[in-house]
Chains A and B, each alone.
Chain A
Amino acid sequence: MFSIYKKELQSFFFTPFAYVVSALFLFMFTFVFNGGLGNLDQATYFFSFPNVFYNVIIMFIFLIPILTMRTFADERKFGTEVLLMTSPINVVQIIIGKYLANITVFIFMLAGSLFFPIYASIKGDVVESQLICAYLGFFLWGAMYIAIGQLVSSFTENSIIAAILGEIVMFVFLFVDDFAMTEFIAQYPGLQAALYAFAAQPRFAYFSQGFIRLSDIVFFVSAIIVCLVWNYISIEQRRWKRG
């Protein structure tokens, strides 16, 4: 497992990949942050970091798939899947090794964004409880999206298709609560409740207000577990169906 993790990290950090993705993330973060600062006088609510995160999460839809699209698609494309499958390690180790490597790059990305709150806390006041909770929520949301992206990547050997599929799924996850709130869905309260249960945004809202609720953590963690287990099934299933 460690060797897979190490190899994945090498492929991110020995190439410009991790740096380009992180730079893109920081660019978006800065853009939103500065936008928020610029509109300070018109802001309905007070300006806060959780608000910035809210806006940045939409960018996740484009960023995370870029990070995860190659995870399994490239292994298939280059035929190196055979190497992994015929080595004395099992598929679970492969999946976890790769997942941890993706998470590490994500943490690297997040670490760059710490510059803003640190700078802000030197020059002004930051609500620390909100900030820490927002970061935790942000991390969990990203971790869930990475699990989704990794799962989608195991469906295809074309990394571009993997990225686009991932974007669609993440888009649905982001806006499912808006959809659930439409009048059409409101006619069917059962369906509305079911759809709403899948919504990540309201759960992030609690984090951004400084709440850590067990149910929210359970939501994200269970989503991650479901995706990784599905990832395992999808890889094994393809081996059986191959041909």
Chain B
Amino acid sequence: MITIENLTKYYGNNRAVNNISFTINDNEILGFLGPNGAGKSTTMNMIAGFLPMTAGKVTICGNDITKEPVKAKKNLGYLPEIPPVYPDMRVREYLSFCAGLKRIPMTKKSEEIKRVMNLLKITDVKDKLIKNLSKGYKQRVGFAQALLGNPKFLILDEPTVGLDPKQVTEVRSIIKDLKKEHSVIFSSHILSEVSAVCDRVVIINKGDIKAIDTIENLEKQTGGSLILHIRVKGSRTVASNIIEMTDGVKEITKINVEGDDVYEFTVQLDGDGEAIKNKIMLELMNNGIQISEIFTEKPDLESVFVKLINSKSSKSGIEELFDEIKAENPETPDDEADSDNAEKEDNE
């Protein structure tokens, strides 16, 4: 078990991480989620014992990382954001060096290197110079290094950044498999990734923990209300009036102009989704408005994420969330969250 207590880090006068505490249980994948610059890497560097903390304590299997670093680090495999590889070494040579660093006995060394190379599927590049490898392979070599010696805990800092979609799925499935023997802390700013892989999520923004919970519990936080999407052809005012007047409609959160007289409404519902949907459909058709598409969906984790990250702001409600996402004015207070949202949209 890794225990993190009141961890704080200041860079000069800048507070990067503010008094955070959480634990990582055995055989668990913990997602560490936050926008760029939230303090994810700093926290991970502190847990791995690379950066000293300003205050607080990290204990790995009962060993304090600052007081007994060698013992604590023995149980740890760390893949930093930039894979720590030597460009002038060959893959096998590099892994053999890392095995030496991790004090793997000579007799087990080659077996262990073979194992991680097979796991990460880098056996066919084992004699190549690392500088000639693509970003994805470098990432995998770095990952292989973290797995050497089968450490109990793995800290992976954005392991899928820069990989192609196929590699991303591969790496994700590797991480899932690791759960059998290891605990993994896994940081990302991509929500879908975290929800696909992790058991629990720590959401962090600007150095503060916004939530620590399971994915299911976080989903529940949205209140279970459904979101309705309707694409119509006809008058915009008439359509929006009808939708707004229908019982059970909370609010129209977004109207997209799709073409001549074609609009897409995003509506937040309150209550029995199916009944409201039918009611709206009937009303719209009675008023001569054509419906080309209508469906309901559960609110995704993304909105929970955005909500939690922006939870400091006084304005509340989903309206503001979409304002933030769609914000085109540069005065938006939270630039990081915006760029992050943009990335998420790209991923979709």
A residues within 8 Å of B by Cβ?
2-4, 6-7, 10-11, 15, 78-90, 239-240, 242-243
Contact = CB atoms under 8 A, between A and B. Distances in A.
A82 B80 contact: yes
A199 to B, nearest CB: 38
Contacts of A242: 11, 51
Interface of B: 11-12, 14, 16, 45, 48-52, 69-71, 73-74, 76, 78, 80, 82-89, 93, 97-98, 100-103, 145
A242 B52 CA distance: 9
A15 B87 CA distance: 12
Contact of B51 (A3, A15, A239): A239
B188 to A, nearest CB: 19
Contacts of A80: 84-86
Given A90-B69, A243-B16, A79 B82 contact: yes
B327 to A, nearest CB: 29
Given A6-B97, A11-B86, A78-B85, A86 B74 contact: no
A2 B100 contact: yes
A79 B100 CA distance: 19
B18 to A, nearest CB: 15
28 contacts: A4-B101, A10-B97, A15-B88, A78-B84, A79-B83, A79-B84, A80-B86, A82-B45, A82-B50, A82-B80, A82-B84, A83-B80, A83-B84, A83-B145, A84-B101, A85-B49, A86-B48, A86-B49, A86-B50, A87-B98, A88-B70, A88-B73, A88-B74, A89-B101, A240-B52, A242-B51, A243-B12, A243-B16
Contacts of B102: 87-88
B89 A78 contact: no
A63 B69 CA distance: 37
B100 A86 contact: no
Contacts of A82: 45, 48, 50, 78, 80, 84
B87 A6 contact: no
Nearest to A74: B86
A85 B69 CA distance: 10
A86 B88 contact: no
Nearest to B16: A243
A3 B103 CA distance: 9
The 3 A-B residue pairs whose C-beta atoms are closest, nearest first, are A3-B100, A243-B11, A83-B84
A87 B89 contact: no
A31 B12 CA distance: 53
Contacts of A83: 80, 84, 98, 101, 145
